[in-house]
C-alpha cells in the first residue's frame, strides 16, 4: 500500500479561516490513490484545522466570532509571552484541533457537498503555517 506525504505552506494575514481544500485535492490526485485515507496535521499550537461549510462566508465569520467569545483576548492569562493574543490562540487551537482525517473514495476526498478544509489562524499577525499531509491506500 503506497504512502505519500506533502507539506502545505499557508501564509496568513492574521485571524481568519484559510480554505485549502483545492490544494489538497490537487495533491491527492497526483498520488494516484483511489481508495484510502488522508491525514492532515497542523505543525503549530496557535493555529488549527477544521472541516466546515465553504458555501456561505457567514459561517466562517460566525465561527471566528464564537472563538473570540470562548477564548477572549485581554483576560488574565498567565501565559502571555508573545502578547495578548498568545494564550487565546492556544485555547482556540485546543478547541478546534491539530489534525483531520478524510476517507478517499474513487480518488477523491469523501467530503460533503458544502464541506471545505480550513487552516484557522488564531494569531493577530501574519504567519507562515505548515500543514503536513499523509495519504495511503490503493
Alpha helix stretches (DSSP H) within the chain? 21-31, 57-70, 86-96
Torsion angle (degrees, nearest 10) of CA 88, 43, 117, 134: -160
Per the listing, cell 491527492 goes with: 28
pLDDT tens-place string over residues 29-74: 999 999 999 999 999 999 999 999 999 999 999 999 999 999 999 8
Domain that holds residue 71: 3-137
- The model's pTM: 0.96
Number of domains forming the structure of the chain: 1
| Per-residue pLDDT, 74 | 85
CATH label of the domain that carries residue 70: 2.60.120.460
Compute how many other C-beta atoms are within 10 angstroms of the C-beta atom of residue 24: 22
Residue 27's closest CA among 50, 7, 51? 7
Asked whether the predicted pLDDT for residue 114 surpasses 90, the reply is: yes
Separation of alpha carbons 22 and 65, rounded Å: 25
Residues 112-129, mean pLDDT to the nearest whole number: 98
Phi, psi of 20 (to 5 degrees): -135, 30
Whole-number average pLDDT of the chain: 97
- Percentage with pLDDT > 70 across the chain: 100
41-45, 80-84, 122-126, range with the lowest pLDDT = 80-84
Amino acid at each position: 500500500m503506497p504512502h505519500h506525504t506533502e507539506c502545505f505552506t499557508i501564509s496568513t494575514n492574521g485571524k481568519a479561516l484559510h480554505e485549502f481544500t483545492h490544494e489538497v485535492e490537487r495533491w491527492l490526485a497526483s498520488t494516484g490513490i483511489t481508495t484510502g485515507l488522508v491525514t492532515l496535521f497542523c505543525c503549530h499550537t496557535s493555529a488549527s484545522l477544521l472541516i466546515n461549510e465553504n458555501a456561505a462566508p457567514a459561517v466562517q465569520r460566525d465561527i471566528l466570532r464564537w472563538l473570540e467569545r470562548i477564548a477572549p483576548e485581554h483576560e488574565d492569562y498567565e501565559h502571555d509571552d508573545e502578547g495578548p493574543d498568545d494564550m487565546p490562540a492556544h485555547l482556540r487551537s485546543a478547541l478546534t484541533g491539530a489534525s483531520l482525517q478524510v476517507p478517499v473514495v474513487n480518488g477523491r476526498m469523501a467530503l460533503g457537498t458544502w464541506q471545505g478544509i480550513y487552516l484557522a489562524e488564531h494569531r493577530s499577525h501574519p504567519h507562515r503555517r505548515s500543514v503536513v499531509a499523509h495519504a495511503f491506500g490503493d
